[in-house]
A and B are shown apart, each in its own frame.
Chain A
């Protein structure tokens, strides 16, 4: 099993450009998450999807949108990238909504906005 996969691994954008980060999991998990990791800040939740068909804002949702395309896939979109969105983005999944299961993480996407 591949677990959680993310594409792309690296991306450089210019201010104002848009892009979509893709995430897929093959563990039949119900819940999926998008985090950003900045130096000294730990992991901050951007959006999550407790189950297929639902999405909710996390701690830092401004400037982002998400789509839970189906049970396997959860994408993150930057409509107009800003330098403040330079970060490493992680997608994660966990077993069931409303239960405190551990999370499984993808390899991350390193995004630079110039």
Chain B
């Protein structure tokens, strides 16, 4: 069975600090996909990134970067120079292909609060 752990329930930082949100996953499949979603205070979840298990290259998008390490089963998300608009709940999710369904399992989320 697949499982996603986001051990940090809430993180509080001051604007311009860097912050890393941790995501640890468990799966028996060799082919799987990892996702990050953002849920701002407005409530609607927004897709941020998808990675497959065969691509361990780190990804950078502006102030956002993702570090995928199969050796530690982690897919961590770093926000550089955080801003108040980054305040949100962030979810990590895992999809594996057992049975061909690729139904994602979500972590419990990390609430990020960025203070001005």
Contact surface of A with B, Cβ cutoff 8 Å: 33, 40-45, 48, 50, 58, 88, 90, 92, 98-108
Of the candidate stretches B60-68, B75-83, B93-101, the one touching chain A is B93-101
In the assembled complex, B55 has its CB within 8 A of some CB on chain A = no
Instruction: Say yes or no: B44 contacts A108, CB within 8 Å.
Output: yes
Whether B100 and A98, one on each chain, are in contact in the complex, defined by CB atoms closer than 8 angstroms, is yes
Residue of A nearest to B50 (CB): A102
| Contact among A43, A106, A107, A108 for B106, CB-based, below 8 A | A43
On whether the beta carbons of A45 and B103 are closer than 8 Å, the reply is yes
What 0/1 pattern do residues 91 to 116 of B give for CB contact below 8 A with A?
10001010011111011110000000
Q: Which of B42, B43, B52, B103 contacts A48 (CB 8 A)?
A: B103
Chain B nearest Cβ from A46, distance in angstroms: 12
| CB atoms of A42 and B47 under 8 A apart | no
Listed A/B pairs (11) with beta-carbon separation below 8 Å: A42-B91, A42-B107, A43-B91, A90-B45, A98-B97, A100-B50, A100-B104, A101-B50, A102-B47, A105-B45, A107-B42
A88 contacts B47, C-beta separation under 8 Å: no
Q: A40-B9, A42-B109, A100-B97 are in contact. Are A58 and B47 (CB under 8 A)?
A: no
Give the docked Cα–Cα distance between A16 and B8 (Å). Answer: 37
Among A45, A98, A105, contact of B102 (Cβ-Cβ < 8 Å): A98
Q: Tell me whether B47 and A103 are in contact (CB under 8 A).
A: yes
